[in-house]
Amino acid sequence: MDFLETRHDGAETTRQRKAHNKSRGGCVRCKKRRRKCDEAYPTCGNCQRSGVSCSLSEASLTPSTPSHVDESHKGLNVDDLRLLYHWMVGDENMFSDHDAWDSKKERDRQTELSLSHTYLLHTLLSISALELFDRNPQDKSHYEQASAHHLAALHHAQSNVVRTDEPQHSEPAFLFSAFTSLYTFAEPALRMLSPGNKATFSALDDLLQAFHMGRGIVTVASAHSENLKATIEQQNFRWPDETSEFVSTLETDYPELRQLLDLIATQQHYSNDQIMALNGATKQLFAIIALLEHREKTHSSARQIQTWPMHVDASLITLWEARDAVSVLLLAYYAAAMSMRSNLWFFSRWPPLILQEVDQVLGRQTGIWEKYLEWPTKIVLSNDGIAAPS
């Protein structure tokens, strides 16, 4: 894809300059071959005559300026405009506890910023395309669009998100990190819909990648903290932390929590710091589960699912990457929390995939982990519309 060939020093390759002179909106294959494209949809004339797959629907926002110069919406083709329209219109207000007018204003603000910050525009278009693919997995062009825009967003963001000395980049950088994290949460489970990806797919590897990306939101917010004060205050007002009301009764309400804490305490290979980190993350996860169970499915408490891994101690990430058994067990309960908001497209496909791989890592056939997996399995299966085994 041409938009990935811009040199890091800001200069364009000769190939890019020639491609720009030939066509701005043709399909990827025609641009690479420097041929005039008739841009017929869904297959252009050249690709049709050659009998090959046409990538006209892939994103065509090819940067025609050095990568350090942030251009606006140059090169939008018809498919991109459809994605932008879908983003701007959106569905009805997602959360019942949010004012619809405020939600529209927020979306309008995001769109406005995207038209002057290319990396944010690509990110919004990638989310829009991925959501459309989730609705209609038979239309592979939406997945191709999502992937292309996501890669372009990361490419443009390299030299822009770090501009902490330029206030105009703080808010779009914050939004970019948030929506990129959302994309990373949503994409892996959708990638599984392609048969060729099943053999190499790892739910836990992709989940941890999403965790890493999500933790980047905290990093960006910290780096731009001076310029983001008003934005963060507004976010805290609109997205309050409501888990504190359940903390005092968690162990009474959830015997599964006490069972996990007792298990963690018996693990002699953990340091005191690791035990503290696991205990804290486990209690917080159950506080989120309690909140989800006490709120409507359209309540904004769903965001707690995505923010939980942003704030766990980094040592847990290391344990998960090493497939440490007890820490991986905690991810089964995370899958249960996800399943409680299966109404949200970016969570809906994850829980059974996570649970299946946790099961494989733990070697459930030995029976050692049976009692710990019983509750999250029951929750995931019931929310997935499958009767739990008796």
The predicted structure's pLDDT at residue 18: 38
Residues 280 and 290: beta-carbon distance below 8 Å: no
80 vs 43: CA distance, rounded Å: 16
If you compute the radius of gyration of the chain from its CA atoms, what whole number of angstroms results? 23
Report how far residue 284's alpha carbon sits from residue 380's, in angstroms, rounded to the nearest whole number.
19
% of residues, the chain, pLDDT over 70: 76
Q: State the pLDDT at residue 40.
A: 66
Q: What is the pLDDT of residue 224?
A: 73
User: Is pLDDT larger for residue 86 or for residue 65?
Assistant: 86
How far, in Å, CA of 270 to CA of 189, rounded? 32
Instruction: Please tell me the predicted confidence (pLDDT) of residue 95.
Output: 74
| pLDDT at residue 254 is higher than 50 | yes
d(CA 177, CA 266): 38
Q: What is the pLDDT of residue 238?
A: 67
| Residue 301 CB neighbour total at 10 angstroms | 24
Is the pLDDT confidence value at 213 over 60? yes
Alpha helices in the chain (DSSP H): 14-22, 28-32, 45-50, 78-89, 100-114, 118-135, 140-157, 170-191, 203-223, 229-238, 250-253, 255-265, 272-293, 303-311, 314-321, 325-339, 350-362, 370-383
Task: Quickly state the pLDDT bin for 55 (edges 50, 70, 90).
Answer: low
What number is the average pLDDT over the span 14-41? 58
Q: How confident is the model at residue 135 (pLDDT cuts 50, 70, 90)?
A: very high
pLDDT at 164: 66
User: b/e map of 307-318 (b: 16 or more CB within 10 Å)?
Assistant: bbbbebeebbbe
The pLDDT of 182-191, averaged and rounded, is 91
pLDDT tens sequence across 162-185: 666 677 778 888 888 889 999 998
| Separation between Cα atoms, residue 213 and residue 390, nearest integer Å | 38
Residue 186 has pLDDT above 80, yes or no: yes
Phi and psi for 340 in degrees, rounded to 5? -70, -15
Instruction: Indicate whether 386 pLDDT > 70.
Output: no
pLDDT band at 5 (very low <50, low <70, confident <90, very high): very low
**What are the two backbone dihedrals, phi and then psi, of residue 313, each rounded to the nearest 5 degrees?**
-65, 145
Contact 24, 62 (CB under 8 A): yes
> What per-residue confidence (pLDDT) applies to 267?
93
Tokens of 203: 């739910």
pLDDT at res. 157: 84
pLDDT for the residue 251: 92
pLDDT exceeds 80 at position 352: yes
Residue 195: its pLDDT value, please? 66
Does the pLDDT at position 56 exceed 60? no
The domains found in the chain, sorted by start residue, are 1-56 (4.10.240), 73-238 (no CATH), 243-383 (no CATH)
- Looking at per-residue confidence, does 343 or 97 come out higher? 343
Q: Which has more confidence, 194 or 129?
A: 129
Percent of the chain with pLDDT over 90: 46
| Residue 226 pLDDT > 50 | yes
Least confident of 252-256, 296-300, 354-358, 378-382: 296-300
Query: Residue 273 has what pLDDT?
Result: 96
- DSSP letter at 241? -
Q: What is the rounded CA–CA span in Å between residue 363 and residue 378?
A: 18
Instruction: Output 222 or 259, whichever has higher pLDDT.
Output: 259
Greatest distance between any 2 Cα atoms in the chain: 70
Is pLDDT of 389 > 70? no
| pLDDT-based confidence at residue 271 (cuts at 50, 70, 90) | very high
